[in-house]
Amino acid sequence: MFMTLEVIPLPVSDIDRARDFYRDKVGFHVDIDEEVMPGMRIVQLTPPGSGCSIALGETLWEMTPGPTPSPGAYQGLQLVVADIEKAHADLVARGLDVSEPVRYSEADGATFMYFTDPDGNGWAVQEYRKRATEPLHRLLTEQAGA
């Protein structure tokens, strides 16, 4: 059985503020911003080149079992880039308060920078230089035999 992770609901306190932050400061694309059913507005945003999106919505949590996470409760969400210096420059130019890249070792995949959204949800950006020549979507297509 083939499964893909495509949407992660993200707890935020203000949908418009979060949408603007992820669109304007982080560079995500707004895929959906509408009332998908009476009383349920969903904003879905996707990082450029990603197959996984985040979903923002006040009533979104009513449809999922379990406790409702507090805004800012998510930590360790991770984005991957092929060139962290270029990504850092782009994010800083957008006005994002992002840490300087930290190289924990010379190994590919061992360099990170960090930021939080307005609610405190924490993100890491990992440099994986191999993605410049081996994009994830190509590897997944090969694995699927397509």
DSSP notation for 59-121: SGGGGSSSPPPPTT----EEEEES-HHHHHHHHHHTT---PPPEESSSSTT-EEEEEE-TT--
Lowest mean pLDDT among 101-105, 120-124, 135-139: 135-139
Average pLDDT over residues 23-52: 94
Task: Select the highest-mean-pLDDT range: 1-5, 21-25, 37-41.
Answer: 21-25
Is pLDDT of 9 > 70? yes
Residue with tokens 């950006």: 125
The model's pTM: 0.91
pLDDT at position 146, please? 60
For the record, the structure tokens of 72 come out as: 């800012």
Q: Is beta strand 122-127 parallel, antiparallel or unpaired with respect to 77-81?
A: parallel
Average pLDDT, the chain: 92
Q: Which residues pair with 55 in a beta bridge?
A: 9, 44
* pLDDT tops 90 at residue 10: yes
Give residue-wise pLDDT tens across range 47-101.
998 989 999 988 888 888 889 899 999 999 999 999 999 999 999 999 999 999 9
Q: How far apart are CA 129 and CA 135, in angstroms?
A: 10
